[in-house]
C-alpha cells in the first residue's frame, strides 16, 4: 500500500519515530484479531503516550482523510479492533496510556487511562483495600479502553453490573481532535444528556476513550466457591432463585457450564481435573462474597446446596476448601475460550435472553440444530445469572468442521431467530465489530438503527472513526 511520507513524518513528529510502526513484522500482531478470524491492512501502527498526542494524531488523520482504528489489548472477539483489508487507516494503539491518574478511597473511585490493563486497575484498587469488580478471563491483557468500548460484562455482572454501571466519567478524543474532559467523579450529575454513555459500547466509532473514572467497592473479606452438578438448565435457574432468596446479594457469580465445554478444558488444559467423580451434563460455578470477615459463607452455601441436593434440584456439589481450590474451580470456567481456540474454529454466539427463558432457548436450539446437523458439537456456557450465554458449535472432525463453518449464516439464522423470538439480543457483551455488523440489521428495529446512524453522522461526518464496525 502506497504511503504518503509526509503523513508518516507528521505522525512521527507527534509521538516519536520509534512509535510509528511501518514494518510488516512489527505491525502484524496488531492487524489480526485474537481469534485469527480477521486480518486487515494499515498504513502504520501508532503508539501515543498521552491524550494530547492522541488529539494531535486525530487531527493529522482527519486532515489527510485517513481512518483511525483504536486498539487496546486486542483481545476482542468480534474483530472490532482490527482494520479492514485494504484500509487506508492507522491502528492507534492505546497501550502506552497506562497510568493510574488518581485513586480516591473515600470516594471509592479510581481514574485510569485507557491503556491500563484490567488487572492493573484491579491491583490498584486492592492496594487501597478496594475492589474493582469487572472480572474477565483476559484481564491480564485486555485494557480498560477496550472494556469500555465493548461495554464488557464478565462473571460479576449479576452483582455489580456491566461496564456501563461501573463508570462515572470519561475523557474522550473526538473525531475532530477536541478533547472532551468528562472525568467527573460524581454519582449524581443531572445536568442534561449523559454523554459518556454514547461512547461506552460504541467500539471506537464515535471517539477515542483515553481515560475513565471507575467505581470501586469495599473488598470482600469472606468468599465461598462451589461447583454444582444439575439435572438440567431449568434446575440452574431454580437454584439461582433459591440462593438469592437464602443468601441475598452475597451471590456475586453464577456461571453455567455444559459438559462439552468442560470436556474441552479437561482435554486441552494440563492442570484441569474434573471436580466431581461422576459425569454430569450441566454444572454451575457459584460464588458468595461478603465484606464481613466472619460471614460463615461456607456454612451458608453448604446448607443451601445440601437442601438443593435433598430436594433433587442439584445432583452433587463440591465446595472449595482453600483459595487454591477455588481458583482451580474457576479455571475450569475461565479456560473454556482458550480450550476452544486450541481445539479449532467454531461458530460462536454471544447471546442474551431473559433468565427465565434460558431453559427454553437451550432446549429449542439444541433440538433444531441437531435435527439439521446431528453430529454438531454444542459448547454452551456463560453468565446464566444475567441471561448471557456463549453458545458455540463445531464438529469434532477437522475436515467436517471446515465444511460446517461454511454454513455459519444458516446456523446463525437458527440461533439468532430463536433469540429474537424470546426477546433477546444477538450480542450480550462482545459487541458487534465486523462479525455482527450486518447481522444486527435483521434484528434491531429500523428506528433504532436510524437513530444510531444519525448519532454516527453527527459525531463523525467523515466516517473515519473505526469504519466498518457496528454500522
Q: What CATH number does the domain containing 367 carry?
A: 3.30.70.2740
The answer to whether residues 22 and 105 belong to one domain is no
Q: What is the DSSP string of 92-128?
A: EE-TT---EEEEETTTTEEEEETTSBHHHHHHHHHHT
Q: Are residues 121 and 45 in the same domain?
A: no
455 lies in some domain: no
Report yes or no on 244 lying in a domain.
yes
Q: Are residues 259 and 320 in the same domain?
A: yes
The answer to whether residues 160 and 187 touch, using CB atoms and an 8 Å cutoff, is no
The per-residue pLDDT for 137 is 83
Residue 467 domain flag? no
Looking at the 3D structure of the chain, how many domains does it have? Answer: 4
Cβ of 294: how many Cβ atoms within 10 Å? Answer: 8
pLDDT for 5 equals 81
In a domain, 200, yes or no: yes
According to the 3-state scheme, what is the secondary structure of 322-333? CHHHHHHHHHHH
329 dihedral zone (left: phi>0; alpha: psi -120 to 50; beta): alpha
Q: For residue range 364-379, list pLDDT tens digits in order.
A: 999 999 999 999 999 9
Give the pLDDT of residue 2: 56
Do 34 and 63 contact (CB within 8 A), yes or no? Answer: no
Whether residues 369 and 441 share a domain: the answer is yes
- Asked which of 93, 113, 130 is the last residue of a domain, the reply is 93
**Helix, strand, or coil here: 223?**
strand
Cell numbers linked to 156: 460479576
Q: Which of 104, 72, 80, 93 is nearest to 183 (CA)?
A: 104
Domain CATH number, residue 68: 3.30.43.10
Task: Provide the 8-state DSSP code for 1.
Answer: -
User: In 3-state terms, what secondary structure has residue 65?
Assistant: coil
Q: Using the 3D structure, point to which of 93, 121, 140 is the last residue of a domain.
A: 93
172 and 187 housed in the same domain: yes
| 468 within some domain | no
Boundary (domain end) residue, out of 218, 247, 275: 218
pLDDT of residue 77: 85
Are residue 228 and residue 294 in the same domain, yes or no?
A: yes
Any idea what the CATH number is for the domain that residue 304 is in?
Answer: 3.30.70.2190
**Which pLDDT score, from 0 to 100, does residue 35 have?**
81
Q: Is the dihedral of CA 384, 386, 389, 390 positive or negative?
A: negative
pLDDT of residue 371: 97
177 domain-assigned:
yes
pTM higher than the cut 0.85: yes
Is 464 among the domain residues? no
- Edge-to-edge strand list for the sheet holding 350-352: 316-319, 222-230, 282-290, 251-258, 377-383, 388-394, 350-352
- Same domain for 317 and 213, yes or no, is no
Looking at the structure, tell me whether residues 213 and 227 fall in a common domain.
no
Residues 57 and 129 in one domain: no
Range of the domain at 255: 223-336
Task: Give domain status of residue 301, yes or no.
Answer: yes
What pLDDT was estimated at residue 391?
Answer: 97
**Along the 471 residues of the chain, how does pLDDT read in single tens digits?**
556 789 999 999 999 999 999 999 999 999 999 888 899 999 999 999 999 999 999 999 999 999 999 999 999 989 999 999 999 999 999 999 999 999 999 999 999 999 999 999 999 999 999 999 999 888 999 999 999 999 999 999 999 999 999 999 999 999 999 999 999 999 999 999 999 999 999 999 999 999 999 999 999 999 999 999 999 999 999 999 999 999 999 999 999 999 999 999 999 999 999 999 999 999 999 999 999 999 999 999 999 999 999 999 999 999 999 999 999 999 999 999 999 989 988 999 999 999 999 999 999 999 999 999 999 999 999 999 999 999 999 999 888 999 999 999 999 999 999 999 999 999 999 999 998 999 999 999 999 999 999 999 999 999 999 999 999
pLDDT for 3 equals: 62
Q: Which three cell numbers stand for residue 206?
A: 464515535
153 burial level (CB within 10 Å; 0-12, 13-18, 19+): buried
- Domain match, 327 and 257 both: yes
Same domain, 235 and 320: yes
Whether 322 and 355 share a structural domain: no
Amino acid at each position: 500500500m502506497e504511503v504518503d511520507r509526509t503523513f508518516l513524518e507528521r505522525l512521527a513528529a507527534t509521538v516519536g519515530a520509534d512509535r510509528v510502526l511501518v514494518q510488516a513484522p512489527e505491525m502484524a500482531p496488531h492487524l489480526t484479531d485474537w481469534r485469527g478470524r480477521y486480518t486487515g491492512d494499515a498504513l502504520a501502527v501508532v503508539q501515543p503516550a498521552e491524550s494530547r498526542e492522541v488529539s494531535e494524531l486525530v487531527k493529522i488523520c482527519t486532515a489527510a482523510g485517513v481512518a483511525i482504528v483504536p486498539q487496546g489489548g486486542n483481545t476482542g472477539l468480534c474483530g472490532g479492533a482490527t482494520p479492514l483489508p485494504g484500509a487506508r487507516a492507522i491502528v492507534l494503539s492505546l497501550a502506552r496510556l497506562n497510568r493510574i491518574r488518581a485513586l480516591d478511597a473515600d470516594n471509592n473511585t479510581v481514574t485510569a487511562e485507557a491503556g491500563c490493563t484490567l488487572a492493573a486497575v484491579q491491583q490498584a484498587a486492592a492496594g487501597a483495600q478496594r475492589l474493582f469488580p469487572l472480572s474477565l478471563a483476559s484481564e491480564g491483557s485486555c485494557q480498560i479502553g477496550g472494556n469500555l468500548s465493548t461495554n464488557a460484562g464478565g462473571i460479576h455482572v449479576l452483582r455489580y453490573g456491566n461496564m456501563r454501571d461501573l463508570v462515572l466519567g470519561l475523557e474522550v478524543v473526538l473525531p475532530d481532535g477536541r478533547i472532551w474532559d468528562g472525568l467527573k467523579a460524581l454519582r449524581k450529575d443531572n445536568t442534561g444528556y449523559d454523554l459518556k454513555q454514547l461512547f461506552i459500547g460504541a467500539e471506537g466509532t464515535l471517539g477515542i476513550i483515553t481515560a475513565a473514572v471507575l467505581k470501586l467497592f469495599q473488598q470482600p473479606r469472606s468468599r465461598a466457591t462451589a461447583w454444582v452438578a444439575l439435572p438440567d438448565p431449568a434446575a440452574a435457574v431454580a437454584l439461582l432463585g433459591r440462593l438469592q432468596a437464602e443468601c441475598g446479594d452475597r451471590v456475586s457469580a453464577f456461571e453455567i457450564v455444559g459438559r462439552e465445554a468442560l470436556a474441552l478444558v479437561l482435554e486441552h488444559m494440563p492442570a484441569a481435573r474434573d471436580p466431581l467423580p461422576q459425569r454430569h451434563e450441566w454444572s454451575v460455578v457459584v460464588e458468595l462474597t461478603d465484606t464481613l470477615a466472619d460471614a460463615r459463607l461456607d456454612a451458608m452455601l453448604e446448607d443451601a446446596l445440601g437442601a438443593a441436593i435433598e430436594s433433587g434440584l442439584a445432583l452433587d456439589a463440591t465446595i472449595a476448601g482453600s483459595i487454591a481450590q477455588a481458583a482451580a474451580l474457576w479455571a475450569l470456567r475461565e479456560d473454556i475460550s482458550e480450550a476452544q481456540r486450541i481445539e479449532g474454529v467454531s461458530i460462536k454466539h454471544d447471546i442474551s435472553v431473559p433468565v427465565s427463558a434460558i431453559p427454553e432457548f437451550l432446549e429449542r436450539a439444541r433440538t433444531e440444530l441437531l435435527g439439521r446437523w446431528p453430529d454438531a458439537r454444542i459448547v454452551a456456557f456463560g453468565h446464566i445469572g444475567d441471561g448471557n450465554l456463549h453458545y458455540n458449535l463445531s464438529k469434532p472432525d477437522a475436515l467436517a468442521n471446515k465444511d460446517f463453518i461454511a454454513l455459519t449464516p444458516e446456523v446463525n439464522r437458527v440461533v439468532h431467530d430463536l433469540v429474537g423470538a424470546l426477546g433477546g439480543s444477538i450480542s450480550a457483551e462482545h459487541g458487534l465489530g465486523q462479525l455482527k455488523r450486518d447481522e444486527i440489521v435483521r434484528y434491531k428495529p429500523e428506528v433504532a438503527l436510524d437513530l444510531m446512524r444519525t448519532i454516527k453522522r453527527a459525531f463523525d461526518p467523515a466516517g473515519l472513526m473505526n469504519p466498518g464496525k457496528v454500522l
